[in-house]
Chain A
Amino acid sequence: MSEHELVSLTIEGVDVSVPKGTLLIEAAKQAGVVVPHYCYHPGLPVAGVCRMCLVEVEKTPKLQIACATPVAPGMVVRVMSPPALEARKGVLEFLLINHPLDCPICDQAGECELQDYVFQEGRARTRYGSFAKRFNPVEDFGGDVLYVPNRCILCTRCVRFMDHVADDSILNVSERGDRALIGIHGDRALDHPWAGNVVDLCPVGSLISKDFLHKARAWELDRTASVCTGCSQGCNVTLDTRQSAVVRARPRPNPDVNRYFMCDYGRGQYRWMNGGDRIEAPLLAERDGLVATDWDHALARAAQLIKGAAGRTVVLASARASTEALFLARRLAGGSSVTGAFRVEYVPGEAPLSGVPNLALRSERAPNATGARVLGYTEAFDAAVRTASEAGLVLVLDEPLHGVPANTLAGAGMVIYLGTVLPEAARVARVVLPIANVAEEDGTFVNRDRRAQRYFQAKATPGMARPAWWVLGELLAELGRGGPFATAAEAFDLLSREDPSFAGLSYATLGTQGVGLPAARPPVVVPA
């Protein structure tokens, strides 16, 4: 039997053909029907405990659970038929016997599957008004997680995640019957590096994030597809923003990279994106120090300086810069005698998520180190800084210059600094150009498996800051070497025309899930 053997069946009157062995609930998605469900999650083993997914299958005596029933040829499935609706209404009524009327104070409200399904097909009024509800106090599970037992619907998604995906069985279902609740190992806290995923997995507001607690309501958030900046794994994430501040990051499903998960370290990355100490206007070096100016003057001065530069050019780049910016900065630095360098923080030891192959919090803690390498940058950062002190032109691309003594770059012919913040060592720059950070621009990163992935703009840039691809595009245009670009897509198109590693790619082909670059070329040897 081939793996690709197709089975045809009818779901809600729609004919679908799906691979043999597909579960009804997944087949229904292809028919455009979401079967209500709680315990089922595509990233977890099937449990079949909540009974929310009951559907009517013709010629079977009883209703079937769509999450555990594989498709069979000729099946006729009814999801919204009166018996199925009646059964699910009963399930919801049971769930609500003990569920508190907590929505006004519950962080999950607005993105809660219990709210959604009760609204969709539950009873309008309770028939248990005269019974007291079961009560258990809120428990701190450690890590970033709070457990509100009263809201728990015992779907066991959290237990299965810890058992089968994180491989750290510290949660269980304690007690029995209507006293059952989720228990945690007596000596342990929920501090596994990937434990925060239970908050996303919980379909209700039972497991909630302490960091996000009371911060925002689900309906106030704007959601933007992005890529995590925590490490070179490049997990796909969604940035939730409110009034131009990122308030949380959540995993965005990508079967080839992070499936449905992201690590807790990555979740905390959103904080630096809201940092307040930003450069808000282009600055020019005048007699009395750096003076704010407008873009026209700043760009003209920078272009003039680059034209007049003689000798070696050094590009000190950040491995958080977009692939487009890294490429354009190198192109701007021009011809032969160019040194491009970046540095990355390495934290020893990886933190793998054992249930997902090739997924770990990597020790290389930067999102685009591979992109920089592909584009010919090296990690000989200290050597490059030494070279820089005698170079004709130093171009800094958002490198924070930590540990670089303030006067190191003073010896250089001239320094042009493109950055989000202004470190002391960069005050010797002749021109300072404010750029956007990852949450404020469109761009791409290349992860450790050479997968180019796009991220999108999630919030406004502060002041006059502009995306690095725009700034570099304007400068290139002044020098007649390409650009200017109206969109990041145009900058990427130039990259794909000029660099064989990116040949044939465009924003359209990358989509939201990314594409692997062709196999590695022999490493480019760049003279240090």
Chain B
Amino acid sequence: MAIGVKVVRRPDSVSYLRATLKGMTLTFGHLFRRKVTMQYPEEKSEPGWSLSPRWRGTHRMLTDEQGRAKCVACGLCPQICPANCIKLVPGEDEDGHRYPLIYEIDEFRCVFCGYCQEVCPEEAIHVGVHYENAEYDRGRFVYDLERLCAQTHPVSSLWDPADPRGE
């Protein structure tokens, strides 16, 4: 036998009854406490509960008064994106304004770091406070510009170093 190994011998006879009862007491005790389980999806919210305002979920593109995406295709978000999941092709509209001809985010590859929102000089792209994303088709997880603009969920307020606790 290897040096330094201590063998603890099991007592020959022992009753587990006391330990079992102790455990059961704890288990059944919970029946009479306040319930914390929410009956999702029937219940989606309840007083005193909400997603954190710093939640980073699927994206939303904000629009201007005319309903156009605020994005000017500056190219910073595809550059900063660590997952390389933003596809951007810049173009020019009739008035000579730069705008995204193609803007797509692959939400499957996204790691929801929120860097795109942080870097955007136009406050256009945002990560959303939102979590219901189920689809029947994997292809639907590549959100194009139209879809990003059509999202209505609230957008994340990212961590602010000046206000680290969100107060």
Interface residues of A, Cβ cutoff 8 Å to B: 103-105, 109, 138, 213-215, 217, 219-220
- Chain B hits for A220, CB < 8 A: 75, 79
Return the contact of A214 from the options B76, B98, B122 (Cβ within 8 A).
Answer: B98
Alpha-carbon gap, A109 to B74, bound state (A) = 9
The CB with the most chain B CB atoms within 10 A, among A105, A109, A213, A215, is that of A105
- Against A, the Cβ 8 Å flags (1 = close, 0 = not) of B76-94 are 1001000000000011100
Interface residues of B, Cβ cutoff 8 Å to A: 72-76, 79, 90-92, 96-98, 121-122
Cβ–Cβ contact B79 & A105, under 8 A: no
Taking A105-B74, A105-B98, A220-B75 as contacts, is the C-beta distance between A214 and B121 under 8 angstroms? no
Q: Which 3 pairs between the two chains have the least Cβ-Cβ distance?
A: A104-B74, A217-B75, A105-B98
Cβ–Cβ contact A104 & B79, under 8 A: no
- Chain A hits for B121, CB < 8 A: 103-104
Return the contact of B90 from the options A103, A138, A214 (Cβ within 8 A).
Answer: A214
Cβ of A182 to closest chain B Cβ, rounded Å: 19
Alpha-carbon gap, A138 to B95, bound state (A) = 11
Cβ–Cβ contact A217 & B79, under 8 A: yes
Cβ of A70 to closest chain B Cβ, rounded Å: 43
Cβ of B73 to closest chain A Cβ, rounded Å: 7
- Chain B hits for A104, CB < 8 A: 72, 74, 76, 121-122
Cβ of B117 to closest chain A Cβ, rounded Å: 15
Alpha-carbon gap, A194 to B127, bound state (A) = 47
Return the contact of A219 from the options B79, B92, B97, B122 (Cβ within 8 A).
Answer: B79
Cβ of A150 to closest chain B Cβ, rounded Å: 13
Alpha-carbon gap, A220 to B86, bound state (A) = 14
5 A-B contact pairs sorted by A residue (CB < 8 Å) = A105-B74, A214-B98, A215-B90, A217-B75, A220-B75
- Chain A hits for B72, CB < 8 A: 104-105
Alpha-carbon gap, A104 to B97, bound state (A) = 12
Cβ of A145 to closest chain B Cβ, rounded Å: 15
- 8 further A-B pairs in the complex, CB-CB below 8 A; given A103-B121, A138-B96: A104-B76, A105-B98, A214-B92, A215-B90, A219-B75, A219-B79, A220-B75, A220-B79
Alpha-carbon gap, A215 to B89, bound state (A) = 9
Beta-carbon nearest neighbor of A137 in chain B: B96
The CB with the most chain B CB atoms within 10 A, among A213, A217, A220, is that of A217
- Chain A hits for B90, CB < 8 A: 214-215
Taking A104-B121, A104-B122 as contacts, is the C-beta distance between A214 and B96 under 8 angstroms? no
Cβ–Cβ contact A214 & B91, under 8 A: yes
Alpha-carbon gap, A255 to B79, bound state (A) = 36
- Chain B hits for A105, CB < 8 A: 72-74, 97-98
Alpha-carbon gap, A217 to B75, bound state (A) = 7
Alpha-carbon gap, A148 to B90, bound state (A) = 19
Beta-carbon nearest neighbor of B124 in chain A: A104
- Chain B hits for A217, CB < 8 A: 74-75, 79
- Chain B hits for A214, CB < 8 A: 73, 90-92, 98
Cβ of A219 to closest chain B Cβ, rounded Å: 6
- Chain A hits for B92, CB < 8 A: 213-214
- Chain A hits for B79, CB < 8 A: 217, 219-220
- Chain A hits for B76, CB < 8 A: 104
Alpha-carbon gap, A103 to B121, bound state (A) = 9
Alpha-carbon gap, A135 to B97, bound state (A) = 16
- Chain A hits for B91, CB < 8 A: 214
Alpha-carbon gap, A236 to B16, bound state (A) = 88
Cβ of B119 to closest chain A Cβ, rounded Å: 10
Alpha-carbon gap, A105 to B95, bound state (A) = 14
- Chain A hits for B122, CB < 8 A: 104
Alpha-carbon gap, A266 to B73, bound state (A) = 29
Alpha-carbon gap, A378 to B79, bound state (A) = 51
Alpha-carbon gap, A220 to B87, bound state (A) = 13
Alpha-carbon gap, A521 to B66, bound state (A) = 72
- Chain A hits for B75, CB < 8 A: 217, 219-220
Alpha-carbon gap, A216 to B79, bound state (A) = 12
Cβ of A158 to closest chain B Cβ, rounded Å: 21
- Chain A hits for B96, CB < 8 A: 138
Cβ of A217 to closest chain B Cβ, rounded Å: 4
Cβ of A289 to closest chain B Cβ, rounded Å: 39
Cβ of B118 to closest chain A Cβ, rounded Å: 14
Alpha-carbon gap, A217 to B73, bound state (A) = 10
- Chain A hits for B74, CB < 8 A: 103-105, 109, 217
- Chain B hits for A103, CB < 8 A: 74, 121
Cβ of A103 to closest chain B Cβ, rounded Å: 7
- Chain B hits for A109, CB < 8 A: 74
Alpha-carbon gap, A217 to B72, bound state (A) = 13
Alpha-carbon gap, A103 to B98, bound state (A) = 12
The CB with the most chain B CB atoms within 10 A, among A103, A109, A214, A219, is that of A214
